[in-house]
Amino acid sequence: MTNSMTVRGSGERRPLLTPWRREALRTTLWVVPTAMVAAAILLFGVTYGLDRAIANGRMSLPGWAIAGEADASRQVLIGIAAAVITVAGVMFSITILALQLASQQFGPRMLRNFIRDIGTQVSLGAFVATFVYSVLTLGSVAHGSAGFVPHLSVTVALVLTLGDLGVLIFFIHHVATSIQVTSVIAGIARDFRSTLQALQDEAARMLPARSGPDDDARELSTRLEEASELVRARTAGFLQSVGHEQLVRIAASSNATIQLLHRPGHFVAEGQPLARVWPVDAAQVVADTLDRAHIVGSSRTLTQDLGFAVDQLVEVAIRAISPAVNDPFTALNCIDWLGDCLCRVGRGPLPSGLYRDPEGVIRLVDRTITFDGLVRKASDKIRQSARGMPAVLIRQLQNLAKVAVELGDDRERGVLGHEGEMILRASEESVPEPADRRDVLAAYQALEILLGVQDSPPVASA
């Protein structure tokens, strides 16, 4: 446990929105459109004020503004509002259709990726905001040809409408590309990289541990020997996020140590053990903090759950090689991106799960996903579903070889060799063609060379 960490002092600036709050706001179709509608209302307030100043003679009408009578302006605004809201309805219909296609082709867990797409949210918001602005401007036009006409506001409404034409073209292109399987797979891998970077950044915010591995073992053994109290979950659902710094602070203030029994991505049943607390008298305070620091929801998210991105790629790959779809090229694409994800994990250590307070005392022991666990997630289910498909098995071995290259000299490679052996056995048991089995064996032997396996017994290919 040499990668122990400690939190900074209380004077550290923290972001206003935690990662899970940002994720919750992002995975909705109403936050961005609502913000854009609010901006449209604010814009109308500004332009209406300028129009009043122009009407009272305090300002002159800009040369680029459109001048016209009240009746003509009213007709223009009615036409803009009617056309914009019609197109907005069509865009909402296209969005729902895209979500339905994504659910059928990629699985229901992919819907979250499409809902959180910022391009779709901005496109919908642009048309709704233009409609609201046009209606507000229409309400400000006085009746009669000699009445007050907000010339500047009408001009801005026309400019927004022209801008919406560009947004419409972008939206059509965006939907057409976002539902392509290659874009979906690359997007999941991009989310994996973002989550990995966020976890590494959180680890970088921690100060180095003050004690060595021997002290770690002694401190943990002392607390394990003491009486502990189980803290049980108050709600059921998937653990989405854990507030490590918040838990370290409360544990330090209570002179306690917390051991978490679940990591993000695990399903927590109500009433089941969630954590252990030493000593017993600090359990109640920690239980109240855990209720706030543990974010539990109805679905998994990528806030702190690296395994979720891997599971999504694996799900797409398994669907692709199922008899109903029979699309091995998509499965190969997923395996390639899984290899990229594992290579990135292999270049740097994952969080150790051991957190200290500023005095160097262990306050939080968290369950974290390991490199071995990610490799097994990325390989096992695909191997089990790809029996009898040498192309998929060969690509899996080639990706394991890429990961082996990225591992440093001090990293454990045993899991790669074990996965390679299981893939080879699957080939021997399920691939009937000897030439195909020889190709799989050649890929396995190339992996052995990279893993430094010496004098390995030959495996029969007949």
Q: Which residues contact 104 (CB under 8 A, 6 or more apart)?
A: none
Contact 388, 40 (CB under 8 A): no
Least trusted range by pLDDT, from 36-40, 337-341, 409-413: 409-413
- What pLDDT sits at residue 209? 46
pLDDT at 221 > cutoff 80: no
Question: What's the average model confidence in pLDDT over 61-68?
Answer: 81
Least trusted range by pLDDT, from 139-148, 336-345, 427-436: 139-148
Residues of the chain above pLDDT 90, percent = 44
Q: Parallel, antiparallel, or unpaired for β 257-260 and 273-278?
A: antiparallel
Least trusted range by pLDDT, from 162-171, 192-201, 212-221: 212-221
pLDDT at 324 > cutoff 90: no
In the block, which residue shows the tokens 């970088």?
Answer: 204
- What pLDDT sits at residue 409? 61
Least trusted range by pLDDT, from 2-16, 305-319, 346-360, 388-402: 2-16
Question: What's the average model confidence in pLDDT over 285-314?
Answer: 86
In the block, which residue shows the tokens 């259709």?
Answer: 97
Q: Comparing C-alpha atoms, which of 47, 387, 44, 320 is closest to residue 181? A: 320
Q: Which of 94-98, 124-128, 213-217 has the highest mean pLDDT?
A: 124-128
Question: What's the average model confidence in pLDDT over 309-316?
Answer: 94
pLDDT at 357 > cutoff 50: yes
Count the neighbouring beta carbons within 10 Å of the beta carbon of residue 217.
11
Q: Average pLDDT, whole number, for the chain?
A: 84
Question: What's the average model confidence in pLDDT over 257-285?
Answer: 87
* Per-residue pLDDT tens over the stretch 272-288: 988 888 888 888 888 88
